[in-house]
Amino acid sequence: MDFNVKTMLMGFVMIIIGIVLLSSVATQVIGVTQKTTESETIDITAARLAGGDINETYEFVPTRVTEALGGWRSTTSGCQESDLLGSAVLTNTTDALTETTDYVIGTGYFTLVNSTTVWSSGNDTAITLEYCQDDYVSGWANNITNLIIGFFALAILGVGIAITVTIFRKSGVM
C-alpha cells in the first residue's frame, strides 16, 4: 500500500477515535461543572389552618436541602444550603405562584403567604431547584475543567492538520 494511503487511513482512524473520546470527555466534564435541576412535589396541607387560611410561619424544607444539611457538598462555593433555593421556582397544580406574593424563600426553606392564590390552589406544590452533584467542582477548577474540552478538540484538529501536511509534503504538493 502507498505511504499516502496508509497515512490517510491512519489519520482518519485517529480522528474518529478522537471524536468518540471527545464526546465521552465532554459528557464527563459537563457533569462536574454544571448544576443539576430537580423538581420535587411537596404537599402543603400542613400549612392550611381551619377556615382555609395559611400558616405563614410553617417552613417547608425540600429533600435536597435536608441532604445538604447533612454535609452534602456544603463546603463548596455555590452549593451551600442558602444557594439551593436561590433559583427555586414554585408552581401549584392549579395556579402559578409568585415569589413574595405567594411564597417567601428563606435560607434552606420556604414559607407560604396567606394570599388568594394559595387559598384557592391545590395541595400539591412543585418546587424546582438547582443543586450540585457529588462530584461538582467550583471556582477556578470549574473554569479549567471546562477548558479541557476545547483543548482536546484543538489536539484532534492539530492531528488532522499534521497528517494532511505530511501527505502533501510526501506527494510533492507542498
Length of the chain: 174
Could you give the CA distance from residue 62 to residue 68 in angstroms, rounded to a whole number? 10
pLDDT of 83: 65
For the chain, give the percent of residues with pLDDT over 90: 0
Q: What is the pLDDT of residues 80-100, one digit of tens each?
A: 655 667 667 777 777 778 888
What's the rounded mean pLDDT across residues 52-59?
85
Task: Give Dmax (Cα) for the chain.
Answer: 91
Q: Which residues contact 132 (CB under 8 A, 6 or more apart)?
A: 35, 36, 73, 76, 78, 79, 138
What's the rounded mean pLDDT across residues 16-39?
81
**pTM more than 0.75:** no
Map residue 103 onto helix, strand or coil. Answer: strand
Of 35, 54, 31, which is closest to residue 128 (Cα–Cα)? 35
Asked if the model's pLDDT at residue 72 lies above 60, the reply is no
Asked if the model's pLDDT at residue 69 lies above 60, the reply is no
Query: How confident is residue 136, by pLDDT bands cut at 50, 70 and 90?
Result: confident
pLDDT of 80: 63
